[in-house]
Amino acid sequence: MLKSSTPIRSGLPPGPKGSAVRGSIREFGTTLLDFLRDTAREYGPLASFRVGPKRIFLASDPDLIEQVLVRDAKHYVKHFGEGAYWQRQRKLVQPVFMKARVRSYAPVMAELTETMLEAWNPGEHIDINFAFGDLTSRIALKTLFDLDDAGDRERFYETLKFAFDIMTARLSRLIKIPLWVPTPQNVRFNRARAELDQTIQGFIEAGRARGKIGDDLLSRLIFAEHEDGSRMTDRELRDEAMTLYLASHETTALTLTWTWVLLSQHPAVEKKLVAEWQHMLGGRTPTADDVTKLPYTANVIAESMRLYPPVYVIGREATKDLELGGYRVKRGYTVLMSQWVNHRDPAYFPDPDAFIPERWEDGLAKRLPKFAYYPFGGGQRICIGNAFALMEAAIILAAVGQRYRFTVDDGYEVTFKPQITLMPLGGIPATLQPR
Ligand code: HEM
Among protein residues, the one whose CA lies closest to atom 11 of ligand 1: 383
- Calculate what percentage of the chain has a pLDDT beyond 90: 59
Among protein residues, the one whose CA lies closest to atom 43 of ligand 1: 383
Q: What is the pLDDT of residue 20?
A: 53
Per-residue pLDDT of 223-234, as tens digits, reads 999 889 999 999
Could you tell me which residue, 298 or 415, shows the higher pLDDT?
298
- Which residues, including other chains, have CB under 8 Å from residue 46's CB and lie 6 or more apart? 2, 13, 57, 58, 59, 60, 61, 64, 324, 325, 326, 327
Q: What is the pLDDT of residue 27?
A: 45
Per-residue pLDDT of 189-200, as tens digits, reads 788 778 888 888
The amino acid that residue 4 corresponds to is S
Per-residue pLDDT of 115-158, as tens digits, reads 999 999 999 999 999 999 999 988 998 898 887 666 766 777 77
CB 227 within 8 A of CB 264: no
Query: Exposed, middle or buried by CB within 10 Å (0-12, 13-18, 19+), for 389?
Result: buried
pLDDT band at 48 (very low <50, low <70, confident <90, very high): very high
Q: What is the pLDDT of residue 182?
A: 78
pLDDT band at 5 (very low <50, low <70, confident <90, very high): low
- Which residues, including other chains, have CB under 8 Å from residue 2's CB and lie 6 or more apart? 45, 46, 61, 63, 64, 325, 326
Among protein residues, the one whose CA lies closest to atom 1 of ligand 1: 252
CB 179 within 8 A of CB 173: no
Go through the chain and tell me how many residues it has.
435
CB 34 within 8 A of CB 101: no
* 3-class secondary structure, 351: coil
Per-residue pLDDT of 363-417, as tens digits, reads 999 999 999 999 999 999 999 999 999 999 999 999 999 999 999 999 898 888 8
CB 58 within 8 A of CB 49: yes
* 3-class secondary structure, 270: helix
Work out the end-to-end distance of the chain between its first and last CA atoms, rounded to an integer number of angstroms: 49
pLDDT band at 312 (very low <50, low <70, confident <90, very high): very high
pLDDT band at 6 (very low <50, low <70, confident <90, very high): low
Our CA dihedral for 256, 257, 258, 259, rounded to 10 degrees, sits at: 40
Whole-number Å distance between alpha carbons of 276 and 262? 17
Q: What is the pLDDT of residue 72?
A: 97
What residues flank ligand 1, with Cβ below 6 Å?
A: 78, 90, 243-244, 247-248, 251-252, 255, 310-311, 314, 375-377, 381, 383-385, 388-389
- Calculate what percentage of the chain has a pLDDT beyond 70: 91
Whether 164 has a pLDDT exceeding 60, the answer reads yes
Q: Which atom of ligand 1 is nearest to the CA of 78?
A: 16
Distances (CA, A) of 230 to 91, 209, 242: 13, 18, 21
pLDDT band at 418 (very low <50, low <70, confident <90, very high): low
pLDDT band at 28 (very low <50, low <70, confident <90, very high): very low
Q: What is the pLDDT of residue 336?
A: 95
Lowest mean per-residue pLDDT among 61-65, 242-246, 353-357: 242-246
User: For the stretch 153-180, what's the b/e string if a residue is b when 16 or more beta carbons lie within 10 angstroms of its beta carbon?
Assistant: beebbeebeebbebbeebeeeeeeeeee
| Pocket test residue of 143, 254, 383, 419 for ligand 1, highest count of atoms within 8 A of CB | 383
Lowest mean per-residue pLDDT among 24-28, 120-124, 219-223, 344-348: 24-28
Distances (CA, A) of 342 to 4, 59, 369: 20, 10, 11
Distances (CA, A) of 236 to 12, 171, 257: 40, 19, 32
Ligand 1 center to 377 CA (angstroms): 8
Q: What is the pLDDT of residue 104?
A: 94
- Which residues, including other chains, have CB under 8 Å from residue 410's CB and lie 6 or more apart? none
* Mean pLDDT rounded to a whole number for the chain: 88
**If you average pLDDT over residues 47-56, what whole number do you get?**
86
- For residue 433, how far is the Cα from the chain centroid? 29
The amino acid that residue 433 corresponds to is Q
Whether 22 has a pLDDT exceeding 60, the answer reads no
Among protein residues, the one whose CA lies closest to atom 27 of ligand 1: 248
